[in-house]
Amino acid sequence: MGISKEAAEAVNPKRYRRADLKERIKALSPLERRVTQDGEDEAPFTGEYLDTRKAGVYVDKVTGAPLFLSSDKFDSGCGWPSFARPVDSSVLEKVPDRRNGRNLVEVRSRSGGTRLGHVFGDGPAESGGLRYCINSAALRFVPYADLEKEGLGALREFFGNLKDGQEEKENES
């Protein structure tokens, strides 16, 4: 699916590089800091956004860069919010995670290096087969009705004919 020039600019990671990154990191809660900066994971089934079913965009908690659409969120049963794909491939970077003898692929926000979680190859086949398993502590949810106010109005195009106040039908796979 092609996206408009405005939406492409709205997801451009360079737009979210922050001069005040150190101050933003200091403002995080201890859990948010451990997850986004130190590579820890929140406990499974405890994250704020695990059961969120509203229409909107999940953004990087540190930089505010858009990362995932609610329409790509699904229930994988893993204990963390799971997404089939990012809003655009340019917003994430993947790095090997070999800590503690693991052989995983860690996912980071390209705009600020925020550590988000991991990606696995067992997601919905019809959406590309990936499962982005993301810590709620690394995210902030922007409801559809607030996209314009948050400077993300161009991303409304991803939601079709959805109207303010209308709930999105989530994929409950």
Catalytic residues: 133
Report residue 141 as tokens: 């949810």
- Which residue shows structure tokens 């809003």? 87
DSSP-assigned beta bridge partners for residue 66: 59
H/E element, 119 = strand 115-120
Q: Nearest Cα to 118, choosing from 91, 87, 83? A: 83
- Does residue 70 contact residue 88 with C-beta atoms inside 8 Å? no
Q: Which residues contact 50 (CB under 8 A, 6 or more apart)?
A: 79, 80, 81, 136
Percent helix, percent strand, percent coil in the chain, to nearest 5: 30, 25, 45
Residue type, 170: E
